[in-house]
Amino acid sequence: MKEALCVLCLVLLLSVIEAAVTKPNSANFIECLRHRTSQENPITDAIFTADNTTTFLSTYLSYTKNKRYSNPNYKKLLAIVTAKHVSHVQATVVCAKYNGIQLRTRSGGHDLEGLSYRSSIPFVILDMHNLRSINVDVSSKKAWVQSGATLGELYVKINEASQTLAFPAGVCPTVGAGGHISGGGYGNLMRKYGLTVDHVVDAQLVDVNGKLLNRATMGEDLFWAIRGGGGGSFGVILSWKINLVEVPKILTVFRVNKTLEQGGTDVLYKWQLVSTKFPEDLFMRAWPQVVNGTKRSERTIAVVFYAQFLGPADKLMATMSQRLPELGLRREDCHEMNWLDTTLFWADYPAGTPKSVLLDRPTNPGFFKSKSDYVKKPIPKEGLEKLWRKMLKFNNIVWMQFNPYGGVMDRIPANATAFPHRKGNMFKVQYSTVWPDANATETSLSLMKELYEVAEPYVSSNPREAFFNYRDIDIGSNPSGETNVDEAKIYGSKYFLGNLERLMEVKAKFDPENFFKNEQSIPPAPVM
């Protein structure tokens, strides 16, 4: 009888232990964090829970850039850890895994679908914004940048060290380096120098077991995967080592508008034919958007042409008059400046704005939705006109960005990094709409889908390619707590093309139990 009772007690004890391990428990998770970190680097002040609603909500909102996701699910979001030391990152990974809690990691909060800070199952957010150190070595033309640093902070730091070094990344200064670089971030140096991932030479990553790895210890397969395959499926990127690139002391920028009434459609059509064939030193974005017309209550489309040239204005003028005279570029449209000032120009700050504004981290999100496409042959004028008609049906702000390819992008193999969209593309399109309040959400999302459908005949197909850093849940997704391989292949083939299979194999090797997952993560390759 006693033996039977002992066996029964043991079974009950084991079931309690098993439940404690498998059922998410925020108290156990937080106790685990404290146990796994040292007094030299205490974690207590980095932990925020719903018990203190005010600080918890402000911490959540501080890096939530899309207002569509500004209400945290208090039943699902168990804690936010704003890591201040690598040990905090390691502890968060280990403790979340041990307690059966999903982990979402965010750096700058610009994840367009909020997958780095929301989930429908119990989860914690590992917020990297405190891990933002940047070290620039001018002699080797390299820098280490932590994931929580913003692009603006990186640009200022580079400029303080050198007037002729730069990094080919994006034009939005508040984007976090962690996600931007890992997804294959691009900017106005793309045609000359390629993408962020083309200049990564080392990285620090915390793996599923809480180990801190670098390129040598993670191996070339994992190092390949995190350069364009996103870091979130494989671990937590702590920092990147990047090669910096040379830029002249004087660059030239311009911004010229052409409305439909001024022949904007014709100029844009010609832009398609020449923008990928410009000299590599010239990057010229076309940005169609809805604007007010000359008559009251009338609306039209203005195509805004933004350009950056690695050289003086006179040389740029000569190129434009030869290649795209239809734009009617004038010398007074051109502005010569240093590289850091061009980052202010692209971020739409007025001339004379102090560079310190690039260090700001504003917390004023709006409601928005973005989608993406790749275009491999010119969109005919009648196709552009169909797009204009659909854009004019929006009641709120809407635009399309055409970002030209060509140059070095044609010469980097599709499998050199996990980012696959290289040769054969004329330009990448980003569709975006912004609206003022939640009441307009349903209509705005519906119109965006309609605009995307209008574009379908004119963009890539089989698959219809998409840019991973412009997250779009519409192209395929899994539930928060599952990763169905067949479903993952739908969105994965659009983001990663022929590189998906290798990414799945790397995932199976380094995270076989699929701990690091979200609605659009890479699944482990099935065991055959």
List, in sequence order, every beta strand (DSSP E) within 70-227. Answer: 77-82, 102-106, 123-127, 134-137, 142-146, 165-166, 200-206, 212-213
In angstroms, the CA 424 to CA 435 distance is 34
Beta carbons of 364 and 414 less than 8 angstroms apart: no
User: For residue 19, which amino acid is it?
Assistant: A
Residue length, the chain?
528
**Exposure string for 122-133, b = 16+ CB within 10 A, e = fewer:** bbbbbbbbebbe
Quote the tokens at residue 63: 């890096």
Sheet order of strands, 200-206 included: 134-137, 142-146, 236-243, 200-206, 212-213
Active site amino acids: 470
Angle between helices 264-274 and 381-391 (to 10 degrees): 130
Quote the tokens at residue 242: 């990047």
CA 372 → CA 151, 211, 375, 466, 472, distances in Å? Answer: 22, 35, 10, 5, 8
HSE on the CB side for 515, CA within 13 Å? Answer: 24
Contacting residues for 272 by C-beta, under 8 A, at least 6 apart? 375, 378, 379, 402, 426, 427
User: For residue 470, which amino acid is it?
Assistant: Y
User: For residue 91, which amino acid is it?
Assistant: A
